[in-house]
Amino acid sequence: MTKAEIITRIYEKVGFSKKDATDVVEATFDIIKGCLERGEKVKISGFGNFVVNTKRPRKGRNPQTGDEIIIVGRKVLTFKASQIMKKSLNGISSSSPESAPSSSASE
C-alpha cells in the first residue's frame, strides 16, 4: 500500500476532502518521523511499536578480498507488531482461547 492509497482510503472512509486527507496523512507521518529522529519509541495501540536501535561498530570481512574491515555503527528502525495485530494476521479472534485443548484430542 502506498501513501496515495492511504490518502484515498481515508478520503473514502471518513469523507474528508482529498486535500484534508492528504494533510492528515502527511502530518501523521511527520509526527512519527520526528519522534523516531529524536530516539523516542512510537507505540500505536492495537498495531505495534516502532523503535530506533543503535548498532555498534563491528568487525567484518570483505568477501572478495577477505580483508578485515570495520562496519560503522548506525541506527536501525525496528517494528514489532502488537499481540492484537499478530492475532488478526493469523485469523484468531480476540475472544477465542489460543491454547485451550480441543475436546476431541482427549478422546
- 10: CATH: 4.10.520.10
Q: How confident is the model at residue 92, as a pLDDT?
A: 81
Global model pTM greater than 0.75: no
Is 37 within 8 Å of 53 (Cβ atoms)? no
Q: pLDDT tens digits, the chain, 107 residues: what are they?
A: 999 999 999 999 998 899 999 999 999 999 999 999 999 999 999 999 999 999 999 999 999 999 999 999 999 999 999 999 999 999 886 555 544 444 444 44
Same domain, 49 and 88: yes
Which of 52, 50, 51, 59 minimizes the C-alpha distance to 74? 52
Do 27 and 47 fall within a single domain? no
* Sign of the alpha-carbon dihedral angle for 43, 51, 88, 83: negative
List the grid coordinates of 86.
499478530
DSSP states of 18-56: HHHHHHHHHHHHHHHHHHHHTT--EEETTTEEEEEEEEP
- Note down the domain range covering 16: 1-40
